[in-house]
């Protein structure tokens, strides 16, 4: 299981953004591809531990699951795969390895709270 | 406190690994070394297959290997019997190799002295798939004793591989291995992938695979000279 180290990577990226912008992060939006090799449930499970004792403690992880999209040369069209167990066009059945989407492991956005001005 | 605001940041979580892997790949190309990584479940036969590969390539090529293991140096000791330079990467609690570990391990090796470098990953069909190691070829191994549907259970790693090896083939009859079913599951998750069927124990089928490696090295060298 490498989800804890992935979660820590997400925390690092979000912390870096929050420090650069001088803001407090309340939630992190992640784009997670079906071919990223990372399991959503395990990642969610690791989130709290990864955030512990950092400024992200108590923050939320919001995962946007991204399906695999391939290009089918028979149909000349992009197609969404219903399953990663079959790299074939769901319309015409042609096999394809022209992967256009689905490997994402990306901190897409952060929800921030502007730091309150003192005084 | 004010209302939360959504700020788009778009940061690749594995950026750091990808940057190092990219640098490694350039370094490998410049040195003219062809790098093959091996992934499989624990016990599929990576070390046995790699020992055979190193031994059989040595008369013609300069070869070396890195081997990742959670805790022991056993695999490195076995591979060293081939007389090729071998280095162990102990990963501790990490269940996969990362590009930085490879970079670290290679620090005191001169890559120009090598034709082939092999990297045995930790036995694991899940975690290694996310980490680019800068390799030129990712080889996924499965043995006839572990079931024909392995690729369907671990599609991501099979999809990320460039070539498949089905090993322990001398046991195929004993376990009623269904070659067509295995081939179909590999082709389903990774269309067009070349598959070698062999036995690292008896050596049957090794020749074709070694020839393939030789061709891939020659192709890379030819491209580098253009
Ligand atoms: N019959 C047979 N046994 C094999 C073959 N290749 C490997 N084995 C046996 O399978 C077992 C595991 O082999 P290893 O080479 O250690 O497998 P590995 O994938 O390196 O294992 P880990 O590094 O622990 O993941 C050993 O008992 C080997 O002797 C083969 O071609 N035929
Ligand atoms: Mg081994
Ligand atoms: Zn189609």
List the pLDDT tens digit at each of the 226 positions of chain B. Answer: 667 899 999 999 999 999 999 999 999 999 999 999 999 999 999 999 999 999 999 999 999 999 998 888 899 999 999 999 999 998 888 889 999 999 999 999 999 999 999 999 999 999 999 999 999 999 999 999 999 999 999 999 999 999 999 999 999 999 999 999 999 999 999 999 999 999 999 999 999 999 999 999 999 888 877 7
Q: Cβ A106–B13 below 8 Å, yes or no?
A: yes
- Please state, as a whole number, how many other Cβ atoms lie within 10 Å of the Cβ of residue B3: 7
Domain boundaries, chain B: 15-217
Q: Cβ A105–B10 below 8 Å, yes or no?
A: no
Going by pLDDT thresholds of 50, 70 and 90, the confidence category of residue A20 is very high
Which residues of chain B does A85 touch, with a Cβ-Cβ cutoff of 8 Å? 152, 155, 188-189
Q: Cβ B152–A85 below 8 Å, yes or no?
A: yes
Ligand 1 atom at minimal distance to the Cα of residue B124: 25
Going by pLDDT thresholds of 50, 70 and 90, the confidence category of residue A1 is low
Smallest CA–CA distance from A106 into chain B, residue: B12
CA distance B27 to B214: 20
CATH code for the structural domain at B15-217: 3.40.50.300
Residue A115: its pLDDT value, please?
Answer: 60
Residue B147: its pLDDT value, please?
Answer: 93
CA distance A77 to A71: 6
Average pLDDT, chain A: 93
- The string over A60-94, giving b where at least 16 C-beta atoms fall within 10 Å of a residue's C-beta and e elsewhere, is ebebeebebbbebeeeeeebebeebbbbbbeeeee
- Please state, as a whole number, how many other Cβ atoms lie within 10 Å of the Cβ of residue A27: 16
Complex ipTM over 0.85: yes
Q: Annotate B130-158 with DSSP letters as a single string.
A: G---S-SEEEEEEEGGG-TTHHHHSHHHH
Determine contact: B92 vs chain A, CB below 8 A: no
Residue B3: its pLDDT value, please?
Answer: 78
- Please state, as a whole number, how many other Cβ atoms lie within 10 Å of the Cβ of residue B74: 12
> Which domains does chain A show, CATH number per domain?
3-113 (3.30.2320.80)
Q: Is the pLDDT of residue A57 over 90?
A: yes
Which residues of chain B does A9 touch, with a Cβ-Cβ cutoff of 8 Å? 13-14, 16
DSSP 8-state symbol, A101? E
Burial class (CB in 10 A: 0-12, 13-18, 19+), B107: exposed
Burial class (CB in 10 A: 0-12, 13-18, 19+), A41: exposed
Residues flanking ligand 1, CB < 6 Å: B 40, 42-48, 75, 123, 167-168, 170-171, 199-201
Q: Cβ B190–A97 below 8 Å, yes or no?
A: yes
pTM: 0.94
What average pLDDT does the segment A18-44 reach?
Answer: 95
Q: Cα B111 from chain centroid? A: 18
Using the mean position of ligand 1's atoms as its centre, give its distance from the Cα of residue B115 in Å. 25
Residues 138-157 of B with CB under 8 A from A: 152, 155-157
Q: Is the pLDDT of residue A119 over 50?
A: no
Residue B224: its pLDDT value, please?
Answer: 75
Structure tokens at B208: 């074709």
């Amino acid at each position: 299981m490498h989800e804890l180290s992935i979660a820590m990577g997400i925390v690092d990226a979000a912390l870096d953004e929050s420090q650069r912008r001088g803001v407090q992060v309340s939630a992190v939006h992640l784009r997670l591809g079906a071919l990223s090799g990372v399991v959503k449930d395990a990642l969610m499970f690791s989130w709290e531990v990864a955030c512990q004792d950092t400024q992200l403690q108590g923050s939320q992880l919001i995962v946007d699951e991204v399906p695999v999209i391939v290009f089918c040369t028979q149909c000349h069209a992009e197609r969404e795969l219903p399953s990663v167990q079959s790299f074939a066009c769901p319309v015409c059945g042609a096999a394809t390895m022209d992967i256009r989407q689905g490997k994402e492991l990306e901190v897409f956005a952060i929800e921030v709270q502007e730091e309150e001005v003192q005084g | 406190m004010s209302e939360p605001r959504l700020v788009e940041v778009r940061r690749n979580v594995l950026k750091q690994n990808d940057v190092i892997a990219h640098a490694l790949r350039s370094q490998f190309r410049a040195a003219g070394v062809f790098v093959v990584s091996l992934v499989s479940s624990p016990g599929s036969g990576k070390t046995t297959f790699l020992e055979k590969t190193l031994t059989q390539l040595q008369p013609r090529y300069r070869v070396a290997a890195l081997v990742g293991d959670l805790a022991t140096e056993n695999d490195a000791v076995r591979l060293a019997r081939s007389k090729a330079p071998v280095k162990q990467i102990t990963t501790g609690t990490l269940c996969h190799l990362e590009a930085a570990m490879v970079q670290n391990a290679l620090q005191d090796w001169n890559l120009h002295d090598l034709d082939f470098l092999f990297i045995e990953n930790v036995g694991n069909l899940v975690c290694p798939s996310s980490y680019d190691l800068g390799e030129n070829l990712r080889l996924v191994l499965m043995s006839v004793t572990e079931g024909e549907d392995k690729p369907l259970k671990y599609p991501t790693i099979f999809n990320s591989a460039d070539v498949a090896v089905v090993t322990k083939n001398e046991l195929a009859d004993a376990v009623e291995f269904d070659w067509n079913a295995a081939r179909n599951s590999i082709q389903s998750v990774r269309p067009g992938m070349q598959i070698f069927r062999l036995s690292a124990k008896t050596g049957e089928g090794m020749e074709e695979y070694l020839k393939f490696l030789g061709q891939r090295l020659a192709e890379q060298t030819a491209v580098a000279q253009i």
